Structure 1
């Protein structure tokens, strides 16, 4: 840990004194950008891929930086090499705390597929490349810098500001958010939480809209199992399990589950209509009336052309794995398929399973939930001080409409929402073109726009300053 302490102290000491000369001094954002870059590159260069899972070096770095600034830090770990870091700057207690959360692990990599090494944090052409640059070491850096700036300014706070740098988000919530929520919830109990899950969407280099995640779909797994009589492949059988399974998978994939609108999705499509072309706006408004012929036509168009937008309207089913047979001339007695199911938060799981059984309509095919690390369901309100502040600051910094979004994927905010914390996902500006080109989160060329990292750090700080600063 000595090397990490030395690295962290060198970065902090070299820059902190030049940032602020007194508690009331104007922030020097050019210097803050320099420090943000150094912390960001140092953290990205640490391999914290999950699996196998080792967030220790990132945690030690954060602890060293925070303690060097005199910020209270606690390390909690279910497994020693996978610690969670909790830092707190106390307020006067007139309001309940604000939690900042980011995860220190990343998905794993295939180094041979990367043009720039995945842990190099290489700067090229205005981008910074590396695993975790947009998932989630951008949020780690923004939260870290926010705490440093609050402490250096001596900013008076109406509420405690807590930073949870959690382990295990990508594949081991047992040692991360579940451990903290189940065993140490008092350390992070807060009124509001700001974490990952949102993003500012750019198209053609221009900001199109700001997405703030307020709700997410819930991952479940369904297994289809077809059974029959094993036999010689030379004699076709009417009860062939592979054939029965194939029909069941096709029926599940082709099924259109019921469309359900929520406050978040209704607001999303209404606001998307306000920032879109007349043709797109008409489709977004049409899906707000899903029972109409125009709404059904719009949904079909979205499923083909904008599947991510369509996916927030109903519980989605994606067949992902099939297992059947062991040699070419043997009809197996069993075949199975796994469906990745992303449920709307208000969906009744057992009721959905019954509907799917009716759709498949084959007693020879069993339809059951299978084991999966699933998250509890809850959504976040829009009528809160937190959302109003986020909306105001985002509009000012990005000059764009702020739109509440539903994530089709999962985040650890689900565990906090289930405990009553109002959580909002934010993120930096990302080019909409990057994902399809292979530059997005979890891709082999993950990258962030360097200037947008700096703008995100500033935006993150200003949100916290307005939401937690003494009035």
Structure 2
């Protein structure tokens, strides 16, 4: 989502009627099913450190078998006992190529002492569901499983196969499920017409009113780098200027004050072009100035200062996220290191960014090495670049716009660039057009994914179910 970047839309949109807000709510049996599946998913720990993705995959496999899916249309497997993925194929008439839906089951770490509720229990209070994964992304896991079950129960027959993959290690770990499936069981996925990834996009709310329906049409490239310096150390009573921590601190300060060059691509340019028609005053002038063939540097700086989201849309960003130094309170440090997390604009590689970090650090005593998804450290990084945006095919966009106009009237559908990263990187690498689309509506100031007391409005969850139930049918025009 791009919360801050769409706030300007709010004052220009009509007030949505109560009828629009209450449109298309699922019936009580559907709500009960959706709630029970969400609770089951939330209450199975799927963190990389101590959890089991396999447990959720097996639980959803049983749900699907009980709901009428044939055993031969369900695959359960993975590289380890804890990282088994689930793939289910909803058979259609075969008139069109299949659609693949990607949903990761793993969640980031959550410590009980940090939360006001147990992160691995679904708690409903004050109109919200609380629990790790309620926003990222067990909500949409449960929604897609429920939608498949509801469609199967009513005997719906799509005009194409619908493939749902519930996978491991999107949030970290060494056994990414999408990557593993594509490399070892490609026949399960085949050659889909396109990929829908509910781990992106969504509906932005301001004070309960929908102001935009975002669709991630491209995303940044994820990379971690280790900055490390060593020193012989010594007794702390004999300090010397050549201190490992000081070297590292100086390097990180240089990084803190560095800004990568600003760039626009087809998606972000279209995004700012849209904003330029509704903004006013200095912001409108600045947006028009960055859209010129020679963008105005001061306008870029002002817009970047207005919103962290705009800053991230315009630049590659690198930020220190972890520190480790020293071995004793009374000794000079022999090692100091930091993890720097980068989100790289499309068209640039991790190795290109590593070389940029070396120039920024400007200290031969500080090494800059690449850290892969499994935590292994390498002297060089991959040369592959982020992928260009896929075409905005009408087969995906037209039904989305039609459904959004009904469920959230007045809120425009806006193609965006995700400032994070998702499993779409694996499908895009194989030429599968991939789009981040979600029907979950969140207040722009209440995005808690990866954070403390992650929560989801109860009403948003059920409307998100109705969205995907209808959107799946619109994409697969069967009977």
TM-score, with normalisation over the residues of structure 1? 0.84
Which blocks of at least 5 consecutive residues in structure 1 are unaligned?
A: 1-25
Counting only pairs closer than 5 Å after superposition, residues 41-190 of structure 1 correspond to structure 2 as 41-71=39-69, 72-172=73-173, 174=175, 176-189=177-190, 190=192
Is 1:423 the equivalent of 2:434? yes
1:74-95: CA deviation from partner (whole Å, max 9, x where unpaired): 2122223432111111222222
Is 1:222 the equivalent of 2:225? yes
Q: Partner of 1:23 in structure 2?
A: none
Q: Partner of 1:354 in structure 2?
A: 355
State whether residues 376 and 415 of structure 1, in contact with CA within 8 Å, keep that contact through their aligned partners in structure 2.
Answer: no
Is 1:209 the equivalent of 2:235? no
Structure-2 separation of matches of 1:455 and 1:434: 18
Structure 1 window deviating more from structure 2 (97-106 vs 380-389): it is: 380-389
Counting only pairs closer than 5 Å after superposition, residues 32-43 of structure 1 correspond to structure 2 as 32-43=30-41
Secondary structure of 1:202's partner? strand
Secondary structure of 2:434's partner? strand
Shift of 1:148: 1.9
Structure-1 separation of matches of 2:77 and 2:476: 25
Is 1:257 the equivalent of 2:255? no
Counting only pairs closer than 5 Å after superposition, residues 185-334 of structure 1 correspond to structure 2 as 185-189=186-190, 190-195=192-197, 196-226=199-229, 230=233, 237=240, 239-274=242-277, 276=279, 280-289=283-292, 291-293=294-296, 296-327=297-328, 330-332=331-333, 334=335
Counting only pairs closer than 5 Å after superposition, residues 403-414 of structure 1 correspond to structure 2 as 403-414=414-425
State whether residues 168 and 174 of structure 1, in contact with CA within 8 Å, keep that contact through their aligned partners in structure 2.
Answer: yes
State whether residues 283 and 303 of structure 2, in contact with CA within 8 Å, keep that contact through their aligned partners in structure 1.
Answer: no
Secondary structure of 1:91's partner? coil
State whether residues 155 and 469 of structure 1, in contact with CA within 8 Å, keep that contact through their aligned partners in structure 2.
Answer: no
Shift of 1:139: 0.9
Structure-1 separation of matches of 2:278 and 2:343: 28
State whether residues 229 and 240 of structure 1, in contact with CA within 8 Å, keep that contact through their aligned partners in structure 2.
Answer: no
Structure-2 separation of matches of 1:421 and 1:455: 28
Secondary structure of 1:211's partner? strand
State whether residues 320 and 340 of structure 1, in contact with CA within 8 Å, keep that contact through their aligned partners in structure 2.
Answer: yes
Q: Partner of 2:10 in structure 1?
A: none
Which blocks of at least 5 consecutive residues in structure 2 are unaligned?
A: 1-23, 375-381
Structure-2 separation of matches of 1:77 and 1:228: 43
Shift of 1:310: 0.8
Alignment length, in residue pairs? Answer: 440
Check 1:335–1:397 CA distance in 2 against 1; reply closer, same or farther (3 A cut): same
Check 1:60–1:316 CA distance in 2 against 1; reply closer, same or farther (3 A cut): same
Shift of 1:161: 0.4
1:189-225: CA deviation from partner (whole Å, max 9, x where unpaired): 3121112122211112211111111222122222333
Structure-2 separation of matches of 1:59 and 1:370: 29
Q: Partner of 1:6 in structure 2?
A: none
1:165-203: CA deviation from partner (whole Å, max 9, x where unpaired): 112222235152222111012212312111212221111
Q: CA RMSD in A?
A: 2.9
User: Which structure's relative contact order is higher, taking Cα pairs within 8 Å and 6+ residues apart?
Assistant: 2
State whether residues 77 and 175 of structure 1, in contact with CA within 8 Å, keep that contact through their aligned partners in structure 2.
Answer: no
Shift of 1:347: 0.7
Structure-2 separation of matches of 1:226 and 1:83: 39
Structure-2 separation of matches of 1:247 and 1:457: 50
Check 1:162–1:204 CA distance in 2 against 1; reply closer, same or farther (3 A cut): same
Q: Partner of 2:392 in structure 1?
A: 383
State whether residues 349 and 385 of structure 2, in contact with CA within 8 Å, keep that contact through their aligned partners in structure 1.
Answer: no
Secondary structure of 1:178's partner? helix
